[in-house]
C-alpha cells in the first residue's frame, strides 16, 4: 500500500513537473537512467578527478531496480568526489539469485573538510531507495588491505518486482 502510494505520488509529481516546464523548450525529455549508463557515469567521475573503475555483471533487472541501482551508484560517486581521500574508487554490481548487489568503495580519512558542501541527505536517500524496494542498505568505514575504506553496500531484490508484485 505504501509503495503504491509512493509510486502514484512520484508519477503525479513527474506529471506536474512536465506541466511546469517551459513549453518553448523543444528538447526531448531526458530518458530514465539505466545501468547501461553506468560507464558514462564513471567516466564523468574520472573527468572530475576520481580514480574510478566499474565492474558490472548484472544482466537484465526490472526498471525500478535499475533506476534505484543507478541512483545509488551516482550518489556514491558524488560522495566520493566530495569526501574521499586520494586513491581508487571501485563500483561493483553483481546479479545474485535474490537480487542485485551493489558495492562502492572509496578511500576514507585524511581529509579535514569536504571538497564541496553537501545537504547530508545522500545516505538517507540511498537508504530510502533500497527500502522502497524491500532491499538493504549500509554505508560506513571498514578496514581494507590498503587502509581504511568507505563502503556503500545495497542489495535490491528482483524476484517480487519482476513478477509485478507490490508490497
CATH number at residue 55: 3.30.565.10
When the pLDDT of each residue in the chain is averaged and rounded to a whole number, the result is 82
Read off the pLDDT band of 163 (50, 70, 90): very low
Q: Is the pLDDT of residue 146 over 60?
A: yes
Distance between CA atoms of residues 159 and 164, nearest Å: 9
Helix (H, G, I), strand (E, B) or coil at 111: coil
pTM: 0.76
Contact 99, 86 (CB under 8 A): no
**Number of structural domains the chain divides into:** 1
What pLDDT sits at residue 11?
Answer: 64
Taking only the tens place, the pLDDT of each residue in 8-47 is: 666 666 655 555 554 545 556 567 889 999 999 999 999 9
- Please state the rounded mean pLDDT for residues 149-161: 87
Query: Is the residue at 18 inside a domain?
Result: no
167 is a domain residue: no
User: For the chain, what's the residue count?
Assistant: 167
Q: Identify any residues that bridge with 99 across adjacent strands, giving them in sequence order.
A: 96
Cα–Cα distance for residue pair 8/16, rounded to 1 Å: 12
- Whether residue 26 lies inside any domain: the answer is no
pLDDT band, residue 97 (cuts 50/70/90): confident
Residue 112 pLDDT more than 90? Answer: no
pLDDT at 143: 87
What's the pLDDT band for 133 if we cut at 50, 70, 90?
A: very high
Asked whether residue 20 is domain-assigned, the answer is no
Give the dihedral sign, CA 124/128/130/135. Answer: positive
Boundaries of domain holding 64: 32-162
Residues 108/151, Cβ–Cβ less than 8 Å: no
Q: Is residue 11 part of a domain?
A: no
Amino acid at each position: 500500500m505504501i509503495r503504491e502510494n509512493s509510486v502514484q505520488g512520484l508519477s503525479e509529481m513527474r506529471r506536474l513537473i512536465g506541466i511546469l516546464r517551459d513549453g518553448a523548450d523543444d528538447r526531448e525529455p531526458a530518458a530514465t537512467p539505466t545501468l547501461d549508463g553506468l560507464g558514462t557515469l564513471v567516466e564523468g567521475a574520472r573527468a572530475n578527478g576520481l580514480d574510478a573503475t566499474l565492474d558490472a555483471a548484472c544482466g537484465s533487472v526490472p526498471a525500478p531496480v535499475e533506476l534505484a541501482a543507478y541512483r545509488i551508484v551516482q550518489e556514491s560517486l558524488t560522495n566520493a568526489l566530495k569526501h574521499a581521500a586520494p586513491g581508487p574508487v571501485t563500483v561493483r554490481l553483481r546479479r545474485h539469485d535474490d537480487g542485485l548487489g551493489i558495492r562502492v568503495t572509496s578511500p576514507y580519512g585524511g581529509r579535514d573538510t569536504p571538497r564541496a558542501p553537501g545537504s547530508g541527505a545522500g545516505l538517507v536517500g540511498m537508504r530510502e531507495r533500497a527500502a522502497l524496494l524491500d532491499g538493504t542498505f549500509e554505508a560506513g568505514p571498514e578496514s581494507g588491505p590498503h587502509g581504511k575504506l568507505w563502503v556503500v553496500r545495497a542489495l535490491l531484490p528482483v524476484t517480487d518486482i519482476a513478477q509485478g508484485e507490490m508490497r
